Amino acid sequence: APEPATLVIFGVTGDLAKRKLLPAVFGLWQDGLLGTAFNILGVGRQDMTDEQFREFALDALRTSKETDEIQEGSLEKFASLLFYTFGDFADIGIYERIKRELDEAESAHGGRKNAVFYLSTPPSLFEPISTGLGSAGLADETEGWRRLIIEKPFGRDLQSALDLNATIHAHWQETQVYRIDHYLGKETVQNIMAIRFGNAIFEPIWNRTYVDHVQITAAEDLGLEGRAGYYEEAGVVRDMLQNHLMQLFALTAMETPVAFDAGAIRDEKVKVLRATRPITEDAAVRGQYAAGTVSGEQVVGYRDEPNVKPGSKTPTYVAVKLEIDNWRWSGVPFYLRSGKHLPKKVTEIAVVFQRPPLGLFPGGAERNVLAFRIQPDEGVSLKFSSKTPGQEDLLREVVMDFRYDAFGAQLESPYSRLLLDAMLGDATLFPREDEVERAWELVAHILNMDVEPQPYTSGTWGPDAADDLLGHDRRWRRL
């Protein structure tokens, strides 16, 4: 059974907590995965009583699309586990109050001092909160475990990430720190490792001898969604490339870990990131959406979005070429792209194999493709050539398709998996400090926000220049 514990959520009245975290915790709790000695302490700046917070939380659960089916009487019982405290995060008083609340919960938990502190706040608060908790003695693990979950973005460049790590480590050991990248909580992302290392047929061809190149796409049809304040400072390189895409890349390119545990897997991810060359200006294309039509709807250009600076150069699209200097991948480019207001939402990793050495059949020979469909229509497919029925020896590309539907199970929210892992002390699916720092190094040259991005019409696949990145013999997959 899970150990007694308290989950402390900072920024609990924020959007993420409301839409994702509370429903995820509720689902885990209702499934009995959090045990009976469990409490949630919400922390915010807003003045609220415990009672008002319970109402707030129940309302969030009733309205979120991510809430599991609610069992009879379950909401009321869940509500009784919730407490709230508020104040200024820069003031030591709030940490003293949190400590008192924890003491109370923990005596009811048989004296075990287990707590996870989830920082679901703007990044400027990561430092004051982790320091405040530490100074109040709340990182101390002598009578239980204390863990810190930190939302993204983790820094805005290498230096700020180094500084943030140093500040955190003044009070917290690295083993206590869980940096969230919600892509790692996705079932289909974990399946990259399962397919690669749980089968014998893929790994032998997963290298420069057989692979021509790899394409990783994270396309979104959504635009800014009213997040100008954040996005103007971040842009797509910080919002998607440095974290989510780099993680997909590392899982696809890494060597076989010696064990399936946090240390071994993260070691391999760091190793391949170290072997990867920092992206140069000429290996990157940045774009920004102009007005257009997405999914049948007219949308304005990025610069005309509310609260975007006139003439903003914030990129909303990026495509890059990664080169890896190691034995397995030397000479095999990995192309990564992500953008807002593209034609549809689709995330995919495609391993594109080399053509057969001889084109024996009319029309030449196509490249086989193994594609991991991360979302939606989750699955894995293999594209290869087959003879078309008839007198002629004509080949056509066909697809062998595995769909997650086959399991007949609903895919869980990535947040439930990650929250549970943190409660269980499993850091496998959380990027370690050296990974995050190396990922910043890789994008360092393309972080400059003063470069004019290339406009692309909303609802298209990004600027034309992204095609040139692949050279004349390769093409982005049509998704």
The residues annotated with a catalytic role in the active site are: 244
Residue from 248, 199, 189, 252 nearest 412 by CA: 189
Identify any residues that bridge with 400 across adjacent strands, giving them in sequence order: 382
**Which is it for the CA torsion 186, 189, 193, 195, positive or negative?**
positive
What three-state secondary structure class fits 124?
A: helix
Non-local (6+) Cβ contacts of 173 within 8 A are: none
Cβ at position 466, least distance to ligand BG6 in Å: 19
Q: Answer yes or no: is 344 a known binding residue.
A: no
From 220, 348, 378, 433, residue interacting with ligand BG6 (rule: CB under 6 A):
220
Pairing of strands 454-457, 284-290: parallel
Q: Find the binding residues for ligand BG6 in span 315-344 (CB under 6 A).
A: none
Non-local (6+) Cβ contacts of 421 within 8 A are: 178, 427, 428, 429, 430
Pairing of strands 115-119, 5-10: parallel
Q: Is 464 left (phi over 0), alpha (psi -120 to 50) or beta?
A: alpha
Cβ at position 453, least distance to ligand BG6 in Å: 16
Per-residue tokens: 420: 């549970």
Which C-beta is closer to ligand BG6: that of 25 or that of 184?
A: 184
Beta carbons of 289 and 305 less than 8 angstroms apart? no
Where b means 16+ CB within 10 Å and e means fewer, 337-356 reads bbbbbbbeebbbbbbbbbee
Phi, psi values for residue 15, rounded to 5°: -65, -45
Non-local (6+) Cβ contacts of 186 within 8 A are: 374, 375, 411, 414
Cβ at position 239, least distance to ligand BG6 in Å: 5
Between the CA of residue 103 and those of 143, 304, 367, 373, 417, what are the distances in Å?
A: 12, 51, 62, 46, 27
Which C-beta is closer to ligand BG6: that of 212 or that of 220?
A: 220
Beta carbons of 167 and 124 less than 8 angstroms apart? no
Dist CA 100 CA 351 (whole Å) = 53
Which C-beta is closer to ligand BG6: that of 220 or that of 378?
A: 220
Q: Tell whether omega for the bond before 356 is within 30 degrees of 0, i.e. cis.
A: no
Q: Does 151 bind ligand BG6 (CB under 6 A)?
A: no
Which C-beta is closer to ligand BG6: that of 239 or that of 378?
A: 239
Cβ at position 179, least distance to ligand BG6 in Å: 13
Q: With CB under 6 A, what is the number of residues at the site for ligand BG6?
A: 3
Name the helix (H) or strand (E) containing 465.
Answer: helix 465-468
Q: Answer yes or no: is 152 a known binding residue.
A: yes
Which C-beta is closer to ligand BG6: that of 314 or that of 347?
A: 347
Q: Find the binding residues for ligand BG6 in span 340-369 (CB under 6 A).
A: 347
Dist CA 12 CA 393 (whole Å) = 64
Cβ at position 471, least distance to ligand BG6 in Å: 28
Cβ at position 15, least distance to ligand BG6 in Å: 11
Helices (H), 377-432: 414-424
From 106, 151, 239, 268, residue interacting with ligand BG6 (rule: CB under 6 A):
239
Amino acid, res. 277: R
Q: Answer yes or no: is 186 a known binding residue.
A: yes
Q: Answer yes or no: is 383 a known binding residue.
A: no
Which C-beta is closer to ligand BG6: that of 220 or that of 433?
A: 220
Q: Find the binding residues for ligand BG6 in span 267-286 (CB under 6 A).
A: none
Q: Answer yes or no: is 220 a known binding residue.
A: yes
Cβ at position 339, least distance to ligand BG6 in Å: 11
Cβ at position 386, least distance to ligand BG6 in Å: 33
What is the DSSP annotation of 295-360? TTEEE--GGGSTTPPTT----SEEEEEE-B-STTTTT--EEEEEESS-SS-EEEEEEEEPPPSS--
Residue with smallest beta-carbon separation from ligand BG6:
239
Which C-beta is closer to ligand BG6: that of 151 or that of 421?
A: 151
Q: Answer yes or no: is 340 a known binding residue.
A: yes
Site mask, ligand BG6, residues 71-110, x = CB under 6 A? ----------------------------------------
Which C-beta is closer to ligand BG6: that of 261 or that of 297?
A: 297
Binding site for substrate: what residues are annotated? 182, 186, 220, 239, 340, 345
Annotated binding-site positions for NADP(+):
45, 88-89, 152
- Chain residues that interact with ligand BG6, rule: CB under 6 A: 220, 239, 347
Annotated binding site: 45, 88-89, 152, 182, 186, 220, 239, 340, 345
